[in-house]
Structure 1
Amino acid sequence: MTVVQQDSPPDSGFVMPLSGVTVLDFSQFLAGPACALRLGDLGARVIKVERPDGGDASRKLYLADLAFDQDSALFHAINRGKLSVAADLKDAGDLAKVRALIAKADVLIHNFRPGIMERLGLGWEALSALNPRLIYAGVSGYGPVGPWRDRPGQDLLVQSLSGIAWLSGDADGPPVPAGLSITDMMAGAQLAQGILALLVRRGVTGQGGRVDVSLIETAIDLQFEHLAVYLNRDGAMPARSAVANANLYLAAPYGLYATADGHLAIAMCPVDRLAAVIDCPALANFPSDRWFADRDAIKAVLRDHLATQATRYWLDRLEPAGIWAAPVNDWPAFTADPAFAALEPTQQVRAPDGAALTLTRCPIRVDGRILTNERAAPRLGADTALMEASDDR
């Protein structure tokens, strides 16, 4: 497998899909920068436009006090490979220089609250007149209209408002949010899809366009399976399982179960087939037309039975029988598995002083190639000279 370093010469004629595309990233924190990161992974040149007094707020958002090259490791994970110009958008001179960059850019990404870009003179109408080929991409918390329009767009709040947090947890327990910023990251992915679609359209028509996503609309879309059922059942609320809840609408045995030494996931499978494989006659007492209605009773039997043996004991029986099951790994177990290493899922980025930081890589393969970029995230304003150049390309 060939590893393509994005800042290296093309390999055997290979051209990165977004080679030659310039992206201006005005966003901070996660959703917008994650979108720009993915475009950079695909070959675009991404230039962060940051305020001089501190830049992107995630530069100082430390997780577990992990720092790298003057900033948080989190900042590098979201902004590796980018460039940085420092500009005060309220300063007329800096704003004029930024507009000159925009005039030659292909994509602009921002995550300001609705109305702020317009007040800065950087709204869609103004910039589409300046650069008719520009793809103008915005991500907000709650969209451009409605009573939530000006609320802070933060992932935990959106998970809570949208019902996502309520989906997890057993029936008698509290709601459980996802342990990742899923609406932020998925909103960034949705925005990248919209940008790529408009770049394709621009290749046909020559005209740019505008794409907008919000965290709340992303949260709604993430729930399309379950909401489709709810919206067509006269608003009848589904019930969470009292035992091993994992999906509102799936019958037993779907869920996570404690074993003698860990936990085991079991997905969709016939309960009578499972009963035979794990030698649990009590499961065979439930007829197939009751596997959903009696799911808590079935899961309770399964819970008690699986707790008697270790996870590996059960997998040695389930996997040869073709029953969908897996251990519930922590990160040490996951990363130690040979399957993890086989995917080459990590890469190193390097700071100007040569220090290295291990990060995950782009999950997309193009023409069978793994895409990586060894350049760390930029120091604040490291590339501000780009605003002084007569031709930033």
Structure 2
Amino acid sequence: MPMFDTDPAPLAGLLVVDLSQFLAGPYASLRLMDLGARVIKVERPGAGDLTRSLYLTDTEIGGDSTLFHAINRGKESLALDLKDADDRDALIRLIARADVVIQNFRPGVIERLGLDWDRVRRINPRIVYGSISGYGEDGPWADRPGQDLLAQARSGLMWLSGDAGDAPVPMGLAVADMFAGATLVQGILAGLVRRGVTGRGGLIQTSLLEALVDLQFEVLTTHLNDGGRRPARAAHGSAHAYLSAPYGVYRAADGWLALAMMPVPRLADLMGLPVQDRWREDPGSWFADRDQIRALIADRIAERPVAEWMALFEPADIWTAPVMGWPELLAHPGFARLGLLQDLHGGARDVTTTAAPLRVDGIRPRCRTASPRVGQHSAAIRAEFGL
């Protein structure tokens, strides 16, 4: 069982049966585990979760991908063949004792396995049942592969990053999976609160596309209420398709610098740049003339190193930051102060990874247990629950 520094953890005593694989569902169960829930991960005998062989570059830990270790720490593994009647009956007995079930099969698969919401709530009326799909349970996209990059492609998200002349730019992370998992956790926690009041469980559903549309709620609302105008990425160093100059990323003499929202005349005066009268009189011109203004700023920033600009900007309360890589981030005292890394033990080898991105009563939840081997806990779980 995971050992937590927070005692008692907020979700201590709750049992989560996780039937999901890849990233979205396991991310949801990871967040619940971080808050103290016990997560039993149901995997296929032998190969287990397909994420075990889904490599980020070619890095592996103990025969499994680093992605699997990052997303499945602190969980227990129960190996079951869901096409086998005895194993499926064992799972049903486990679900009867659980508080939460999570699944992310393609629409129709969970029904064929006899583990859909209607069946499960008859087994356990108090269960909170979490379900993630690619594009919803029905409709013209329901049978399409629920994969992160493909969901990004359909969502409109790719037209928000990059410069005006660039091709569509996908996010460099599996944002659909992770935001869908985070959205599901919100719903599951709400379901658990309602169950505490009424004693009744519930069905929580989301999808990759729903999560990505919600992620864009600000800019999509602008689009919907601005005559359907398309996003307008800046010509160079664009950081937001709907924000005016100086917002963006600029190359300095020895690195890169980010500038956020700031009155253009104030910034220009500080940098010694020429300012047109309309920029002083009409803030709307900061968007209309965005490329012209940003070009002036870019040329001037390129003349000096990052440290000099930081020394000028920060005392003047200009919203700025150096663009750091991971080595710079990890070595900085500001990062160290947050305590966002942890070491996991008990697996094929020790693993260093991130910790939960929140604190409870001032303490960051920490799990000391590495991700499990396939079926590592099968015998103990079967004995404990009489499977």
Q: With structure 1 as the length reference, what TM-score do the two structures score?
A: 0.94
The superposition leaves residues 186-242 of structure 1 with CA deviations (integer Å, 9 ceiling, x where unpaired) of 110000110000000000000110001100011110100011011122322232111
Residue 181 of structure 1 pairs with residue 177 of structure 2:
no
**Equivalent position of 2:303 in the other structure:** 308
The superposition leaves residues 149-170 of structure 1 with CA deviations (integer Å, 9 ceiling, x where unpaired) of 1111111111111111111111
**Equivalent position of 1:251 in the other structure:** 244
User: Aligned to 1:128, which of 114, 121, 135?
Assistant: 121
The superposition leaves residues 29-86 of structure 1 with CA deviations (integer Å, 9 ceiling, x where unpaired) of 1110000001000000000001113110011122232222332221111000000011
Residue 268 of structure 1 pairs with residue 264 of structure 2:
no
Structure 2 distance, partners of 1:72, 1:99, is 30
Structure 1 distance, partners of 2:12, 2:239, is 42
Structure 1 distance, partners of 2:93, 2:276, is 70
**Equivalent position of 1:70 in the other structure:** 63
**Equivalent position of 1:320 in the other structure:** 315
Residue 20 of structure 1 pairs with residue 16 of structure 2:
no
**Equivalent position of 1:238 in the other structure:** 231
CA shift in 2, pair 1:51/1:6, >3 Å:
closer
Provide the secondary structure at the position in 1 that maps to 2:351. strand
Structure 2 distance, partners of 1:32, 1:151, is 18
Q: Percent identity?
A: 53
User: Aligned to 2:160, which of 146, 162, 167?
Assistant: 167
Number of positions where the alignment pairs a residue of Structure 1 with one of Structure 2: 385
**Equivalent position of 1:349 in the other structure:** 344
Q: With structure 2 as the length reference, what TM-score do the two structures score?
A: 0.96
Residue 213 of structure 1 pairs with residue 206 of structure 2:
yes
Where structure 1 has 5 or more consecutive residues not aligned to the other structure, the ranges are none
Structure 1 distance, partners of 2:385, 2:57, is 42
Root-mean-square deviation over aligned CA pairs: 1.7
CA shift in 2, pair 1:214/1:352, >3 Å:
closer
Residue 358 of structure 1 pairs with residue 331 of structure 2:
no
Q: Is the 8 A contact 1:142 1:149 kept in 2?
A: yes
Provide the secondary structure at the position in 1 that maps to 2:203. strand
Provide the secondary structure at the position in 1 that maps to 2:342. strand
Residue 380 of structure 1 pairs with residue 374 of structure 2:
yes
**Equivalent position of 1:156 in the other structure:** 149
Provide the secondary structure at the position in 1 that maps to 2:164. coil
1:283 deviation in Å? 6.8
Residue 371 of structure 1 pairs with residue 370 of structure 2:
no
Q: Is the 8 A contact 1:275 1:284 kept in 2?
A: no
The superposition leaves residues 75-121 of structure 1 with CA deviations (integer Å, 9 ceiling, x where unpaired) of 11100000001111110010110100000000000100111111111
| Counterpart code for 1:372 | R
Q: Is the 8 A contact 1:282 1:301 kept in 2?
A: no
Provide the secondary structure at the position in 2 that maps to 1:292. helix
User: Aligned to 2:294, which of 284, 294, 299?
Assistant: 299
1:18 deviation in Å? 0.4
Q: Is the 8 A contact 1:52 1:380 kept in 2?
A: yes
Where structure 2 has 5 or more consecutive residues not aligned to the other structure, the ranges are none
